């Protein structure tokens, strides 16, 4: 197990809630009449997705795709695979991808390429957090919550070795841990 890492709050639950409301307002303006398909990338986006959707009061559909990049721990393996496929047809749909965090960009880049091949009418990206310091492939973000420093974040869906997803605040692990 090892010792518990020391956590510090980066964004507390009130800051997250106001950012989620702001994103929901932007998305509502653009998608109200479009009957979009919102696709959450598992597992990290589940909490953001649930909170965001509570603010969207127009017809939409929801699906999830499971992608894995990190083999465990804090480093990306660079290899992405689909570990849970979609159930909804994407062809001809207005698709909005919901991400928790974009780091190197490899996962999101893979996901957008994968979905683009399925011929949606439109394909856009909403991410709660963006960590630009370690980007390897360019990613266009249409709706952005927070730009974050080059630290390892946990909480509000984000994990370290599958732990800490249940924290209501977004925290970072103090250097040295
Ligand atoms: P990328 O492929 O952009 O490097 O990373 C995307 C995925 O890596 C995210 O969906 C997330 O699962 C994981 N990841 C990247 N940075 C962090 C971080 O700071 N904390 C956690 N918990 N996961 C991260
Ligand atoms: Mg993710």
**DSSP strand E in 12-135: where?**
37-42, 61-70, 76-84, 94-102, 122-130
- Residue whose CA is at the smallest distance from ligand 1 atom 4: 104
Q: Which atom of ligand 1 is nearest to the CA of 134?
A: 4
Structure tokens at 156: 């509000």
Rounded (10°) angle between helices 46-54 and 13-31: 60
Instruction: Decide: 152 in ligand 1 pocket, CB within 6 A.
Output: yes
d(CA 43, CA 62): 14
pLDDT in tens, 78-98: 789 899 999 999 999 999 999
H or E element: which one contains 29?
helix 13-31
Edge-to-edge strands, sheet with 153-154: 7-11, 170-173, 153-154
Reduced to 3 states, what is the DSSP secondary structure of residue 173?
Answer: strand
Structure tokens at 152: 């390892």
- Could you tell me the distance, in angstroms and rounded to a whole number, from the CA of residue 59 to the centre of ligand 1? 30
Q: Which residues, listed in sequence order, are joined to residue 70 by a DSSP beta bridge?
A: 76
pTM of the model: 0.94
Measured from the Cβ of residue 124, the count of other Cβ atoms closer than 10 Å reads: 18
d(CA 106, CA 110): 6
Active-site residue set: 103
**DSSP strand E in 13-102: where?**
37-42, 61-70, 76-84, 94-102
pLDDT in tens, 24-34: 999 999 999 99
Give exposure, 69-96, as e/b (b: 16+ Cβ within 10 Å).
Answer: bbeeeeebeeebeeeeebeeebeebbbb
Q: Which atom of ligand 1 is nearest to the CA of 45?
A: 10
Measured from the Cβ of residue 163, the count of other Cβ atoms closer than 10 Å reads: 11
Instruction: Decide: 46 in ligand 1 pocket, CB within 6 A.
Output: no
Instruction: Decide: 103 in ligand 1 pocket, CB within 6 A.
Output: yes
Predicted confidence pLDDT, tens digits, the chain (177 residues)? 557 889 999 999 999 999 999 999 999 999 999 999 999 999 999 999 999 999 999 999 999 999 986 555 566 667 898 999 999 999 999 999 999 999 999 999 999 999 999 999 999 999 999 999 999 999 999 999 999 999 999 999 999 999 999 999 999 998 765
């Amino acid at each position: 197990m090892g010792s518990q890492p020391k956590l510090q709050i980066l964004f507390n639950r009130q800051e997250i809630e106001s950012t989620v409301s702001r994103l929901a307002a932007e998305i509502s303006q653009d998608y109200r009449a479009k009957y979009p398909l919102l696709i959450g990338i598992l597992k990290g986006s589940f909490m953001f997705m649930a909170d965001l959707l509570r603010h969207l009061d127009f017809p939409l559909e929801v699906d999830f795709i499971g992608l894995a990049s990190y083999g465990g721990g804090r480093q990306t393996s660079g290899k992405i695979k689909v570990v849970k496929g979609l159930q909804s047809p994407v062809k001809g749909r207005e698709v909005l991808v919901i991400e928790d965090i974009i780091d190197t960009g490899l996962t999101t880049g893979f996901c957008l390429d994968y979905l683009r091949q399925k011929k949606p009418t439109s394909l856009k990206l909403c991410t709660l957090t963006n960590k630009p310091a370690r980007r390897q492939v360019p990613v266009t973000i249409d709706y952005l919550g927070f730009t974050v420093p080059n630290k390892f974040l946990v909480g509000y869906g984000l994990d370290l070795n599958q732990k800490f997803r249940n924290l209501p605040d977004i925290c970072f692990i103090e250097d040295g841990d």
